[in-house]
Amino acid sequence: MQPVGKTRNLKLLLQYDGTPFAGWQRQPQNRHQITVQGELEKVLCQVLQESIEVIGAGRTDTGVHAKLQVANFWTNSKISREKLHYVLNRLLPKEISIERIDEASKEFHARFSATARTYRYFLTTKKTALEHRYKAFYPYPNLSQEAMQRCADLIVGQHDFTSFCKASAPLKSKICTVQKAQWKKIGATFKFEITANRFLHSMVRLLVGTMLEVGRGTLTVSDFKRIFAAKDVRLAGASAKPNGLFLWHIHYGKRQPRLGEQSESEDSE
């Protein structure tokens, strides 16, 4: 919705290293915590000399990165996109990079206009000194890609993901439609990619953590299926480490029906 008195809707494409941030979302109750949204709003208010609220397509958690995050904000400023792009990249922390700024239609909303999101999780079974910020280290040399993929196949489609959502999440519906869930392996590196219309709080990390238990033989594929059906997060494995998780892509286009979905549940990882 267009704020009263605001004339321009600007769309940001950005990426960030989530290591130093307490997630995407501003934390009014914990003002000492540094967040990506908070840093963006602080710099935009300084540059544009007006109150700015930045809306993100995905609300990544503490330590989670974004290869591509989409955001929008309304402003009265007539500053050129080129100048704003330059100034933001000069003033923002080095861990945040603005890739592009576009004029958006008045209907565009980074969060509610999105039809799907893609996350990728990277882990390595070999300790690395140079990639530890972006790959989670798990010393499981015999991790079974085949077993983890069998688990991933089970989650494709429309399902209730209560078993893979933080119990404290105040959601009316925990139904999500997963379009893709795939494990790939190159050397000691495993990559899990998942695309869905929405994600619940810690959903990807809980899925990955539970699949890892299957991959290392602590659980079976049948155990995973039972946990999924039980709708009880207490049965899931431990959440995977945040440093391996990336918000990878935001999809826009024709919206598909979202059965049982509530708008307030978008999108926390």
Active-site positions read 61
Q: How far apart are CA 208 and CA 14, in angstroms?
A: 25
Q: How far apart are CA 228 and CA 117, in angstroms?
A: 21
In sequence order, which residues have a C-beta less than 8 Å from that of residue 51 and are 6 or more positions away? 45
163 class by beta-carbon count within 10 Å (0-12 exposed, 13-18 middle, 19+ buried): buried
C-alpha to C-alpha distance for 24 and 39, rounded to whole angstroms: 10
Which two structure tokens, joined as six digits, stand for 99? 């890739």
DSSP 110-161: TTTTEEEEEEEEEEESS--SSSTTTSEE---TT--HHHHHHHHHHH-EEEE-
Residue 219, H or E segment: none
Tokens representing 260?
């049982």
Which tokens sit at 262? 């509530």
List 189's β-bridge partners, or say none.
124, 186
CA 167 to chain centroid, in Å, comes to: 18
